[in-house]
Amino acid sequence: MTIPTREKMIIGAADLLRRWGLHATSMREVVRHSNTPRGSIAHHFPGGKRQLLEAAVHHAGQEVSGPLEALMREYGPLPGLERFVMQWRRVLEESGFEAGCAVLAVAVEKYVSDQREADPQQEQQVQQQLLDQANDIFGEWRRIISYALQEAGSPPARAENLALLIIASIEGSVALCRAARSSEPLERIWEELHLLLEREPGLLPRR
């Protein structure tokens, strides 16, 4: 099936974000990486780099939210999270530990326009928009996990705190794995999370 040009550019930008980070994801590199015509930028993204990045971050968020919610629904929080972590391990290993989290890249790096004479105030506004978008996506992931934990019997406040801990732990371990060129940090952190979660009431694996 042929992928439309606009979607190819979004996928390409999301892949660059998770591999190279926000600053290195220029329009020129997106065109090269996605093998799309340079003239397509103005047609599909009249808002320029800002609009493309927002679409790419949304895409990256949905790539996580969809599978995560499906795993929580089908397997419950403990076995579902284990499968989710193993998916992350495959992404890391299959990319040679180059691919991290595109949403995290937006959260920790400064936005810089591709234009040499960009307005600093406008750049700051785009930066804030991207940060707000990343925060909303992290919040959605926490909501998915918190809901699953509450369905399994955790009190709401406890579920919220655990969901925050889980997201922070997985995101941090992915960064550690990239630096170490090994999946060991993710595996060890998951072992500790597993020990913590299996003590929670109602979180035993479904039969």
Q: Kindly state the average pLDDT of the residues 26-32.
A: 89
pLDDT at site 2: 73
Question: Does residue 122 or residue 94 have the better pLDDT?
Answer: 94
141-145 CB contacts, 8 Å cutoff, 24+ apart: 141/64, 141/65, 141/68, 141/167, 142/167, 144/65, 144/68, 144/69, 144/72, 145/68, 145/72, 145/77, 145/81
Q: Kindly state the average pLDDT of the residues 84-88.
A: 97
How many angstroms separate the CA atoms of 143 and 64, rounded?
13
Q: Kindly state the average pLDDT of the residues 48-55.
A: 92
Q: Kindly state the average pLDDT of the residues 52-77.
A: 96
pLDDT digits (tens, 9 = 90+) for 155-180: 999 999 999 999 999 999 999 999 99
pLDDT at site 154: 93
Q: Please report which confidence band the pLDDT of residue 75 belongs to, taking 50, 70 and 90 as the band edges.
A: very high
Q: Please report which confidence band the pLDDT of residue 17 belongs to, taking 50, 70 and 90 as the band edges.
A: very high
pLDDT digits (tens, 9 = 90+) for 134-158: 999 999 999 999 999 999 999 999 9
Q: Kindly state the average pLDDT of the residues 114-143.
A: 88
Query: Which listed CATH number (1.10.357.10, 3.30.565.10, 1.10.3720.10, 2.40.160.20) goes with 49-197?
Result: 1.10.357.10
Q: Kindly state the average pLDDT of the residues 82-103.
A: 96
This prediction has a pTM of 0.91
How many angstroms separate the CA atoms of 19 and 102, rounded?
8
pLDDT at site 38: 79
pLDDT at site 130: 95
